[in-house]
Amino acid sequence: MIDSSEKVQVIDSHTAGEPTRVVLDGTLKLGSGTMVELRDRFQENGDWLRSSLLSEPRGFEAMVGALLCESLDSRCEAGVVFFNNAGVLKGCLHGTMGLIKTLEFMGRISFGEHFIETPVGVIKADLRSDGSVQVTNVPSYRYLSNVELNIEGYDNVIGDVAWGGNWFFLVESGGPEISHLNIGELSSFSVAVMNELESSSITGKDGTKIDHVEIFGPSEDPIIADSKNFVMCPGGEYDRSPCGTGTSAKLACLYDSGKLKVGQKWKQAGVLGTVFEGEIIQEDRGNIVPLVSGQAWVNGKYELIVDPSDPFCYGFK
Ligand code: PYC
């Protein structure tokens, strides 16, 4: 909470339709440290900023925030802590693509490879001359396969649990039709899946909560994409993009079931029809290293004012 008005500089972008709001200034005095330490300090002291920036009337629930930090790792151009309407996020590839385009917009980087420190590891991002961003994600893997869930009103709901920088339940059969005209049903089905995972104690490794649900359906055009998805994020909002960490989890499942090999490409469309291209570049004892590329655009640069006399200064749900 704050005692007097704060001005917060942000740059907005969207990646394949999914927004990212990069917070530029040192409004929060988090000091220096690893991104894990800064994430923990942000969680303790920065929740007012998180909710102010991402909730109405200043933001909206689908927005992802990216706190731009200095990294102590000399390889890294910057560090980042991602957050959304529910709290801090583990990994976020659409956000990484947005951050790279933002750093280019700020004149800090140009074409080529850059390293970014995140709380889940160091990520390599290549800003390519066609304007796209290709991100080498953290090692990803399938943890559980063919898990059957009991979801009222649906038959044969079967999926996998996989890590791609976040924990995902990937619904491979029995889910609703993937269409932007069907967001309501896709959302309520995803919430039912999350609840069922929790009540059946189905988790990621070490008991970690699965906080993303990804539902798959056929691609409308096999030349444009291999598959179409809908991704529900923690906080109950859906990803407007095909979700980079979700695409990484999908690549891990395809690899583990022998359907995709190192070097083969996979084009994943999201619910709006925008596409991320994925590829496995390496494998090591069941873990794969995913490469995911997509397009992001900077679409705003603002100074936001957070005034404690405003009854909605921290936003409302
Ligand atoms: O692209 O990895 C991603 C992501 C995670 C949550 C929203 N987008």
| pLDDT tens track for 3-55 | 889 999 999 999 999 999 999 977 788 889 999 999 999 999 999 999 999 99
Whether 69 is catalytic: no
Whether the CB-CB separation of 158 and 148 falls below 8 Å is answered with yes
Minimal-distance CA residue to ligand 1 atom 8:
243
**Cα of 99 to ligand 1 centre, how many Å?**
13
Report pLDDT for 29.
Answer: 81
161-172 pLDDT tens trace: 999 999 999 999
Ligand 1: residues whose CB is within 6 Å?
18, 64, 89, 91-94, 233, 239, 241, 243-245
Structure tokens at 238: 């859906």
How far is it, in rounded angstroms, from Cα 160 to Cα 54? 31
Note the pLDDT of residue 1: 81
- The pLDDT, as a whole number, for residue 2 is 84
Ligand 1 centre and the CA of 310: distance in Å? Answer: 31
Task: State which of 18, 123, 138, 140 you would mutate to test the pocket of ligand 1, scoring each by most atoms of that ligand within 8 A of its C-beta.
Answer: 18
The bridge status of strand 132-136 relative to strand 287-306 is antiparallel
Q: Ligand 1 centre and the CA of 268: distance in Å?
A: 13
pTM for the whole structure: 0.95
Question: Are the beta carbons of 152 and 131 closer than 8 angstroms?
Answer: no
Inter-residue long-range contacts of 278-281, CB under 8 Å, 24+ positions, other chains counted = 278/247, 278/248, 278/250, 278/251, 279/251, 280/251, 280/255, 281/136
Residues of the chain scoring pLDDT < 50: none
pLDDT for 259 equals 97
Active site residue 313: no
Q: Which of 233, 238, 268, 272 to mutate to test the pocket of ligand 1 (most atoms within 8 A of CB)?
A: 233
Distance CA 18, CA 92 (A): 11
* Choice among 69, 76, 92, 253 that is catalytic: 92
